[in-house]
Amino acid sequence: MGRSPCCEKAHTNKGAWTKEEDDRLISYIRAHGEGSWRSLPKAAGLLRCGKSCRLRWINYLRPDLKRGNFTEEEDELIIKLHSLLGNKWSLIAARLPGRTDNEIKNYWNTHIRRKLMSRGIDPATHRHLNDAENRVQDHEVQTSVAATNTISFASSASVAVVKQEQDPSITSKSSMFEVVSNNKDGRGTLLERCPDLNLELTISPPRMNEPDQPFKNMDRSLYFGCNLGMQNSNDYSCGDGSDIGNTTSSGKRNSTSTAYDFLGLKTDVWDYRRLKMK
């Protein structure tokens, strides 16, 4: 039943890899490709655990790794992604070509944490350290920007509090919201039900074939649409600019709008220049 053990731990090397071990691993993977980590050490003539081989390859030997210092753009992208995804280093690394989760994790802990602290920002929550709102109980997830319906996953709770008074148009009739308490003035605090989130962030070129774009006078090549993977939904996406202007006179989004002030991304448009790699 089950699989056989990946390696005999009693006969494996530990600690720093030697040049010879690196060469053996590289040449083996060049010849046979990645994968089969269990059988790789024996086949490659390495006295290492398969797990260790995998880590060494992924974090250090892979030819597509980008070595060297992080750029300012990468810094900002990591901060932005961390505010969205938390310590999901593998997801963050997936958005930074040539960088590994381990590298980003180390860089976060050694550089960016300090950088944010020096800006007066709590690296764990991305809030200002002296923000009075921080005192609110942790399970009550805060809106990150006043007067907007933003959602934060600062707690592990799967619901987010939405301040109804900030947008009376939101009612408990919506399947997305639930009144959990009533304030003195009779208005309720709503809990927003968050459906299962797929936090995959997709970035795509702008739609170019739609007439009468509000951004028609702008350099369209500068903008990308993005979609923060609410599965089967356009509710939480920011557009390429084509959605701007789709609000009604009352300030409400009309039904065709796909723009949403999501997770503190308080804009319909991301300037790709802030996201692209160098």
Binding site for DNA (CB under 7 A): 1-6, 13-17, 35-38, 50-52, 54-56, 59-60, 87-91, 101-103, 105-107, 109-111
Q: How many residues does the chain have?
A: 278
Decide whether 65 or 244 has the Cβ nearer to DNA: 65
Cβ at position 94, least distance to DNA in Å: 8
> Which residue, 6 or 197, is less far from DNA as judged by CB?
6
- C-beta of 16 vs 31, nearer to DNA: 16
CB of 162 to DNA, least distance (A): 27
Between residues 100 and 213, which has the closer beta carbon with respect to DNA? 100
From the CB of 81, what's the least distance to DNA, in Å?
Answer: 11
Compute the least distance from the CB of residue 131 to DNA, in Å.
23
Q: How far is the CB of 96 from DNA (least distance, A)?
A: 13
Nearer to DNA, 112 or 191 (CB): 112
